[in-house]
Amino acid sequence: MPSIEKHIEVSRGRTGKDYLELHEWIDKDPATKVERHDITKIPEYGKMMEKKYGPEGLQEYLRHIHDDFNARFGHVKEDVEKAIGDTLAYFGVKPDTDVKKNAYGISTADIDLLRRAGLADKDLGHSIRVALKALDVAGRMNAPVHMELVGRGALLHDLGKAKSKGFDHGIAGAELGRTLGLPEELTTIIEKHVNAGLTPEEAVELGLPAKDYAPTRIEEKIVIYADKLSDIVSHPDGLVSNDAEAEDRFAEILKAYPALNKGDKPLARHLKYHEEIQGLMKGKA
């Protein structure tokens, strides 16, 4: 079973926070450790964690339990997955597609795909955060949105970082995705997200194939937007205190931080998508 220190390391890689108190609550006291790993209590404890730490803390609690059972009790993995899935559904995050409700949640199969590809824990944590934010944004849109495409595209957008950390990670991810049999609409999101959609001229300057990487679908733009919001929220300088502030101060922060905006042209594109998406959420577009 992973140590508290290992859980802290993984949480820090995923969220930028160690969640020490949470992990110690689960594991530190031998007298309560067994009870706090009881999968029948996941909904009860999940509600408590969500109230105390918010949605992100809930996810870290569930991941802690998941990782512990994976390490020691592989034969009950399905029971754990079901308990976690039921809890996510209770909090409005479903692990599967519901066409009637247009709902979609993070797929454990896609998480496994990223792990098998060799994506580092830090990058996987970022991808999960982007997926959750993208689904949140898409769920507030006053426009038709393909939720599964948004959720899967956001989760898989950095697939290429298993092969490269450079500007070519979008192309590398799209190529890898094709070899894995991913749909073209997903590999397109992976390929286009770098620098908010490069022009052919910018691509050549970065040593990439000369083509237009501009997003054309709203789902592609939502992934790009969520990716940048996640960068703002998890910035080591503590630029904002929550996701809502990141949206409210999006333009201000990007203009002030060149490391986030990546240059004048990407900045202009990010601001354009921000205005478009916020307008759709408010019913103005």
Question: In sequence order, what DSSP letters do the residues of the chain get, joined into one string?
Answer: ---HHHHHHHHHHHHS---HHHHHHHHT-HHHHHHHT-GGGHHHHHHHHHHHHHHHHHHHHHHHHHHHHHHH-GGGHHHHHHHHHHHHHHTT--SS-BTTTTB----HHHHHHHHHHT--HHHHHHHHHHHHHHHHHHHT-SS---HHHHHHHHHHTTGGGGT-SSTTHHHHHHHHHHHTT--HHHHHHHHH-GGGS--HHHHHHTT--SS-----SHHHHHHHHHHHHHHHHT-TT---SSHHHHHHTHHHHHHH-HHHH-SHHHHHHHHHHHHHHHHHHTT--
94-285 fold: Hypothetical protein af1432 (1.10.3210)
pTM score above 0.85: no
Q: What is the pLDDT along the chain (285 residues), one digit of tens a residue?
A: 789 998 998 888 778 889 999 999 999 999 999 889 887 788 788 889 989 999 888 888 988 887 777 665 444 455 556 666 665 665 555 444 333 334 566 777 888 899 899 999 889 889 988 998 998 899 888 888 999 999 999 999 999 999 999 999 999 999 999 999 999 999 999 999 999 999 999 999 999 999 999 999 999 999 999 999 999 998 999 999 888 899 999 999 999 999 999 999 999 999 999 999 999 987 654
Nearest 5°: the CA angle 40, 44, 50 is 130
Q: Which among 247, 83, 222 has a CA at the least distance from the CA of 152?
A: 222
Return the domain boundaries, the chain: 1-93, 94-285
- Alpha-carbon distance of 196 to 149, in angstroms, equals 17
Q: Are 119 and 164 in contact (CB under 8 A)?
A: no
